[in-house]
Amino acid sequence: MQKMEEYNIAVRYNQDVTILNRQVVMVAWKPPRTGWVKINTDKACREDGRTGCGGLIKGSEGE
């Protein structure tokens, strides 16, 4: 909880934020079952109103 309070104070005063003791997690793509596909989507929005989005569909063989 203290880290969140420090982050909020730094943001309020527009300071750089450095978070120590972070955990690294390895992420890997795992194929879906045969006959299925996986769909991954993402979007981004900026304060000036610009937006973007994208997506990816992969089958069990990575196609």
DSSP label at residue 59: E
CA-based Rg of the chain, rounded to a whole angstrom? 19
Q: What is the pLDDT of residue 29?
A: 79
Q: What is the pLDDT of residue 36?
A: 93
62: left (phi over 0), alpha (psi -120 to 50) or beta: left
7 in Cβ contact with 22 (< 8 Å): no
Q: What is the pLDDT of residue 18?
A: 61
pTM of the predicted protein model: 0.45
Q: What is the pLDDT of residue 43?
A: 92
Q: What is the pLDDT of residue 26?
A: 73
Ranges of residues in the chain with a pLDDT under 70 are: 1, 10-21
Instruction: Write out the H or E segment, with its range, that includes residue 44.
Output: strand 37-45
What's the N-to-C CA distance of the chain in angstroms?
44
